[in-house]
Amino acid sequence: MAAESTAQAPAQPHFVLAPLAAHGHLIPMVDLAGLLAAHGARASLVTTPLNATWLRGVAGKAAREKLPLEIVELPFSPAVAGLPPDYQSADKLSENEQFTPFVKAHARPRRALRGLLARSLGIPRLFFHGPSCFYSLCDLNAVVHGLHEQIAAAADADDEQETYVVPGMPVRVTVTKGTVPGFYNAPGCEALRDEAIEAMLAADGVVVNTFLDLEAQFVACYEAALGKPVWTLGPLCLHNRDDEAMASTDQRAITAWLDKQATCSVVYVGFGSVLRKLPKHLSEVGHGLEDSGKPFLWVVKESEASSRPEVQEWLDEFMARTATRGLVVRGWAPQVTILSHHAVGGFLTHCGWNSLLEAIARGVPVATWPHFADQFLNERLAVDVLGVGVPIGVTAPVSMLNEEYLTVDRGDVARVVSVLMDGGGEEAEERRRKAKEYGEQARRAMAKGGSSYENVMRLIARFTQTGVE
């Protein structure tokens, strides 16, 4: 009796999340923090002051719902990287040359945070890999089997279209010099790449934003290759996300427009948070959508729309011409809300994993237009493995912040939109069927008793510390 009265209940586990300061990394981590908090754990998301301001609505929602979730500001000086004071997020960068200095500068406080928590205090570490498990396994196998060195040593290493097989994969995967996996392949980033790999291998486990029904074979291989647990907790976007708290546009106006459209008639077009389309590319996308004859909802970044007076003038004229069947949204749009609407029947995407998984989670087939980083392998997953995508036909990457070379024109855009939205025959029907099926499986995974739900419970239980008498 005495022992029972003096024993302490298990302490509430506290997860500290430290994402890269970029919307594409922040959003799934915000979703993860909310998921952990909703299941009884305390979650602290650490980010720069500018991003903390952007997430004020998320923090307010958590407070109203009495969830143990907080946004913590970590001081960050862009001046260390020779950048303007407001460049506290990768989405602010305007030139490709700024990316590597930004990542290096941002890595310093995050490195110190990891060192303090993991080494000094002996606190367990988890590695959150933002891309698909398919990509993560390709990335790991490329490093372990020396694929980068093999490509560099090849006699025809300058041939951008020469293909190489990624070793150790349960399915055949080929890449080119430009699409080989690795976020830090650019010259000068080798140390960052090695540090990321070291952090992953030293972690106590890996968290992936996916679900077992989608990537079971790759999850099993990834876990075996790492020799440590892999927790699949997604699709994180299905956990009670407040899209409007992060959007820069009025969600009601978008929903009202979609309500007037026929079921599955609208193609949604969006290219993520980092990619910048030059004026000539905006024009080709717009004309392609116009020529397709399909209803569309197109998200254009404010930085793109306001880059030059002639761009604004062209966009105004385009919107006037297509007003009867198109809607152009300027700024950050509520993407999950849009993809959830019954009027949306397809998504022209850059194949960032967040966007691709959001489409899959809502049962929406995609037209794939990859640009860089993990996007080409995500395209292979969507098109070749899952069978939910139609490729636009891009084979080589472009620069991150500006597409310098025009590899896709209005004809390509019109064609892929028409195939995606109008394609008949068994292949098109199978694509729609699979997309719908994966959407249903995604919802089951996140529901009570589903694989991702149970993995969240196991993860929290694994790191819950029991008190002593």
Structure tokens at 8: 């302490």
CA distance 87 to 101: 11
Residues 6+ positions from 255 with CB-CB distance below 8 Å: 337, 341
For residue 28, is the peptide bond before it cis, meaning its omega torsion is within 30 degrees of 0? no
CATH 3.40.50.300 fits 12-239+445-462, yes or no: no
> What pTM was computed for the model?
0.89
CA distance 460 to 463: 5
Q: Tell me the residue type at 198.
A: E
Answer whether 296's CB lies under 8 Å from 265's CB: no
Answer whether 324's CB lies under 8 Å from 293's CB: no
Digitized pLDDT (tens) for each residue of the chain, 469 residues in all = 223 333 455 678 999 998 887 778 889 999 999 999 999 999 999 988 888 888 888 889 999 999 999 999 987 766 666 666 666 666 655 555 666 666 666 566 555 555 555 566 778 889 998 899 999 999 999 989 999 889 888 866 667 789 999 999 999 999 998 899 876 566 566 666 677 777 788 889 999 999 999 999 999 999 999 999 999 999 999 987 665 555 555 788 999 999 999 999 999 999 986 665 667 788 999 999 999 999 999 999 877 766 677 888 989 999 999 999 999 998 888 999 999 999 999 999 999 999 999 999 999 999 999 988 899 999 999 999 999 999 999 998 876 555 556 689 999 999 999 999 987 788 899 999 999 999 999 999 999 999 999 999 999 999 886 433 3
CA distance 274 to 231: 27
Domain boundaries, the chain: 12-239+445-462, 244-444
Q: Which fold has domain 244-444?
A: Rossmann fold (3.40.50)
CA distance 230 to 223: 6
CA 170 to each of CA 137, 201, 216, 240, 441: distance values in angstroms, whole numbers, following the listed order: 10, 21, 11, 34, 22
pLDDT at 290: 97
CA distance 385 to 461: 33
pLDDT at 280: 78
CA distance 346 to 441: 19
Residues 6+ positions from 293 with CB-CB distance below 8 Å: 418
Strands 164-165 and 174-175: antiparallel
CA distance 233 to 212: 9
CA distance 359 to 366: 7
Among 10, 122, 21, 130, which Cα is nearest to 71's?
21
Answer whether 137's CB lies under 8 Å from 169's CB: yes
Answer whether 238's CB lies under 8 Å from 446's CB: yes
pLDDT at 445: 98
Tell me whether residue 238 is exposed, middle or buried, using C-beta atoms within 10 angstroms of its C-beta: 0 to 12, 13 to 18, 19 or more: buried
CA distance 125 to 463: 10
Residues 6+ positions from 424 with CB-CB distance below 8 Å: none
pLDDT at 25: 86
CA distance 337 to 266: 14
Quick check: do 12-239+445-462 and 244-444 share a fold? yes
Secondary structure in 3-state letters for the chain? CHHHHHCCCCCCCEEEECCCCCHHHHHHHHHHHHHHHHCCCEEEEEECHHHHHHCHHHHHHHHHCCCCEEEEECCCCHHHHCCCCCCCCHHHCCCHHHHHHHHHHHHHHHHHHHHHHHHHCCCCCCEEECCCHHHHHHHHHHHHCCHHHHHHHCCCCCCCCCCEECCCCCCCCEECCCCCCCCCCCCCCHHHHHHHHHHHHHCCCEEECCCHHHHHHHHHHHHHHHCCCEEECCCHHHCCCCHHHHCCCCHHHHHHHHHCCCCCCEEEEECCCCCCCCHHHHHHHHHHHHHHCCCEEEEECHHHHCCCHHHHHHHHHHHHHCCCCEEEEECCCCHHHHHHCCCEEEEEECCCHHHHHHHHHCCCCEEECCCCCCHHHHHHHHHHHCCCEEECCCCCCCCCCCCCCCCCCHHHHHHHHHHHHHCCHHHHHHHHHHHHHHHHHHHHHHCCCCHHHHHHHHHHHHCCCCCCC
Answer whether 227's CB lies under 8 Å from 148's CB: no
CA distance 372 to 369: 10
